Structure 1
Amino acid sequence: MSAPRKPLATRERLSEVRYEIRGELARRARELEAQGRKLIKLNIGNPGAFGFRAPEHLQRAIADDMGRTDPYTHQQGLPVAREAIAAYYARRGIADAHPDRVFVGNGVSELIDLSLRALLNPGDEVLLPSPDYPLWSAATILNDGRPVYYSCDADNDFLPDPVQIEARVSSRTRAIVLINPNNPTGANYPRELIERIVAIAAKHKLLLLVDEIYDQVLYDGAKFEPVAPLAGDVPCLTFSGLSKVHRACGWRVGWALLSGAKEIVSEFQHAMDLLGALRLCANVPGQYAIEAAVNGPDTITALCTPGGRLYETRRAVIEACEASEHLELVAPAGALYAFPAVVGAAAKGFDDHDFALDLMENEGVLVVPGSSFNVPYRHHFRVTLLPEAAAMRDVFARIDRALARRAEAAGKVVPLKAKAKSAA
């Protein structure tokens, strides 16, 4: 008889990584769908899955240049694409925006990983918002860094406290991450707040890593303030791409622009170039849409203003939470998500993961537990704003029904003290 086979060992630090957006609940969703169940899946900000299409002028740009996409391109990206990106950011007020400082990647996700690999030595720390988009935590951990969280609390409209950020800085801190507009909360950072965070980075000689992928997805007159023009000589790496504003997630086109004083950023710039060369280059066909995207017509604002699809779905979520005795919501000012809190009787003994599983099994709705975004509490969940408004109203009717069952069950539980008194 042969000896039992030993499982292939995996990297130990993977045990510290969580990404529930596509994790255990998503796997259970696939099992239910294989059984014939129909689910409304609100776990991923994936516009194409809800009928959105990339704008036609982007599609034409790729089709027109498809015959030129077979060879590798420069490791930092197509020259014409990098020139267009640099010019776009120069118009936003970044004086040192230059094509040599632009890096095109297979989505922002790849560039986040490359930037942290270029920056971190084992044990170095990165200041991250809590809640965060969990890829940032995962990439920090897998590049041998240590995430250190600063709170973005609901009672402060999910905005960070600069005093707390500075208190988290240590001798090992290398960078501050800002996600603005924020995923998962939809918070949009005002200029004064950004200026205070920039001052902290300048004082402690830190790199600003700025995720601005939702920079044009704004509601109710919210104004977006890009960080790099306010940072000036302070090193700043700004991330964006085609996935959200241009609804082209599957094209996997992201970019990063490095700004700041040359003598400070040159070594990091060379490190990013080296790591980009090691993966050869990013997806080439999608890069031909970049120039059309940054120079073409605005196709997102109409979706985010009254009557627009994203705006009306957001309105449906806000109204549903206002009408519910079980939910509270800080209305998202930007991005594609809402981050409601469960309150009242339904919140007694509430566990966000258990609730998400129950909601999927019994109401056919998949959401992401709030604790997946690296927060210390377990009474929030995230939904996308991508379905039609009518569908979202139905979703929140199901959510409210599930929470009402929990509130009723909580009311029927006899407290231990009451049990002891009746027994006496």
Structure 2
Amino acid sequence: MSLQALLDDGDEVLIPAPDYPLWTAAVSLAGGRPVHYRCDEASGWQPDVEHLRAQVGPRTKAVVVINPNNPTGAVYGDEVLGRLLDVAREHDLVVLSDEIYEQILFDDATHTATASLAPDLLCLTFNGLSKAYRLAGFRSGWMTVSGLPATSGEARSLRRGPRHPRQHAAVPQRAGAARGGDGARRPARAGRACCCPADGCASSATPVSSLLREIPGVACTTPQGALYLFPRLDPDVYDVQDDQALVLDLLREQHLLLVQGTGFNWPEPDHLRIVTLPHVETLRDAMGRLAEFLEGRRTRG
């Protein structure tokens, strides 16, 4: 909805690489042109602000921020967010901030709302009940508009959801997240559902990232939030030309489903995305299967 309102044919939107691919798709479907700026794996997948700056052109309209990030699990620091927002100020860009994982944080990681650092910029913040509140199937989300002069300093929120009786299951404490109430600070902690509380995800992500690093030729940045790992396969150890074919072979041989890194608009076929939702025992078994699979594809050492 926001991109259809914002973009004319050929307008450009800056999107992180890797990205949540719906952003790239939605820009294209709205007639725009997605332009990817690099996130730096060596810096814990923080945005490369200078590379972002270099991507700005005369038709650039907006910049997308995904924080905490899918697929890398990065949580952006205030310093890098501030520098990114400086680029938006310099070029009068709309800021589109995807913060659906804001409450799924590990260890001492803290999340800063992008809009809180940019009261002078038009910022659209996207959130919902799918992740921290474990109501993915209910398709309930909201967009908050801030920084627009017409709001006179007040944020305006648009909520969108299907007209269906199951909306009654979104109890007031959780629906209150859209209003910034107590529900926003109390994600669901118990029960069988489609997502997990942050402490459960952290207990899975940390040992799994360590297990990945034990596989020869595999590197993995420990995530700070969200539900994912994005390990790298050393191209000197694994000669992967087609990562989509690789994950299909993995599925056939080990009955293990991962997603190829190029599916997240990463330019090289050297990454995989792993979801950390399963119990740690299940993930340990999965990493053993991945190690066995990769053992047969090593080209060196």
| TM, length-normalised to structure 1 | 0.63
Task: Specify the alignment match of 1:335 in structure 2.
Answer: 226
1:192 CA drift (Å): 1.2
Which structure is higher in helix share? 1
1:212-236 deviation line (CA, Å, top 9, x unaligned)? 0000101111010100111102000
Residues of 2 paired with 1:214 and 1:334: CA distance? Answer: 7
Maintained 8 Å contact 2:8/2:31: yes
Q: Can you list the C-alpha shifts for 1:341-395, whole angstroms capped at 9, x where unaligned? A: 1126542245311210111000000110000111111010101110000000000
CA apart distance, 1:194: 1.0
Partner in structure 1 of residue 285 of structure 2: 394
Q: 1:206 to 1:345 in 2, by over 3 A?
A: closer
CA distance in 1, matches of 2:188, 2:228: 15
Within 5 Å, give how 1:151-166 maps onto structure 2.
151-166=38-53
Aligned CA distance change for structure 1 residues 194 and 243 (closer, same or farther; 3 Å): same
The answer for unaligned runs of 5 or more in structure 1 is: 1-113, 413-424
- Distance in 2 between residues matched to 1:196 and 1:344, nearest whole Å: 32
**Structure 2 CA distance for aligned equivalents of residues 148 and 388 of structure 1:** 37
Alpha carbon RMSD of aligned pairs, Å? 2.6
Q: Identity over the aligned pairs, expressed in percent?
A: 39
Contact 1:126 1:140 in 2 (8 A): yes
Cα shift at 1:286: 5.7
Instruction: Say whether the 8 Å CA contact 2:134–2:188 is kept in structure 1.
Output: no
The equivalent of 1:126 in structure 2 is 13
Match of 1:246 among 133, 142, 145: 133
Q: For the structure 1 residues 233 and 154, does the alpha-carbon distance in structure 2 shift closer, same or farther, using more than 3 Å as the test?
A: same
Q: Partner letter of residue 318 of structure 1?
A: S
Cα gap change, 1:286 to 1:115, in 2 (>3 Å): farther
- In 2, the alpha carbon distance for the partners of 1:164 and 1:411 equals 33
| Cα shift readout 1:105-155 (whole Å, capped 9, x = no counterpart) | xxxxxxxxx110000000000000000110000011111100111001211
User: Of 8, 11, 23, which residue of structure 2 is paired with 1:136?
Assistant: 23
1:312 aligns with 2:203: yes
SS at structure 2 position matched to 1:362: helix
**Aligned partner of residue 297 in structure 2, secondary structure:** helix
How much does 1:314 deviate?
Answer: 0.7
Q: 1:325 and 2:212 equivalent?
A: no
Asked if residue 189 in structure 1 is aligned to residue 76 in structure 2, the reply is yes
Deviations 1:71-108, CA, capped at 9 Å, x for gaps: xxxxxxxxxxxxxxxxxxxxxxxxxxxxxxxxxxxxxx
The 1-side partners of 2:35 and 2:119 are apart by 25
Q: Does 1:262 align with 2:149?
A: yes
- Structure 2 counterpart of 1:299: 187
- The answer on whether the counterparts of 1:122 and 1:145 sit within 8 Å (CA) in structure 2 is yes
One-letter amino acid of the structure 2 residue matched with residue 176 of structure 1: V
Q: 1:177 aligns with which of 52, 64, 89?
A: 64
Q: What is the distance in 1 between the residues matched to 2:37 and 2:249?
A: 31
Pick 1 or 2: higher relative contact order, CA cutoff 8 A, min separation 6.
Answer: 1
How big is the shift at 1:311? 1.7
Paired residues of 1:217 and 1:300 also in contact (CA < 8 A): no
Higher strand share: 2
Alignment match, 1:403: 294
2:239 corresponds, among 337, 348, 361, to: 348
- Aligned partners of 1:126 and 1:147 also within 8 Å: yes
Name the structure 1 match of 2:121. 234
Aligned partner of 1:212 in structure 2 is 99
User: Could you tell me the TM-score, scaled by structure 2's length?
Assistant: 0.88
Name the CA shift for 1:264/1:172 in 2 (closer, same or farther; >3 Å).
farther
- Runs of 4+ that moved beyond 3 A: 280-288, 299-305
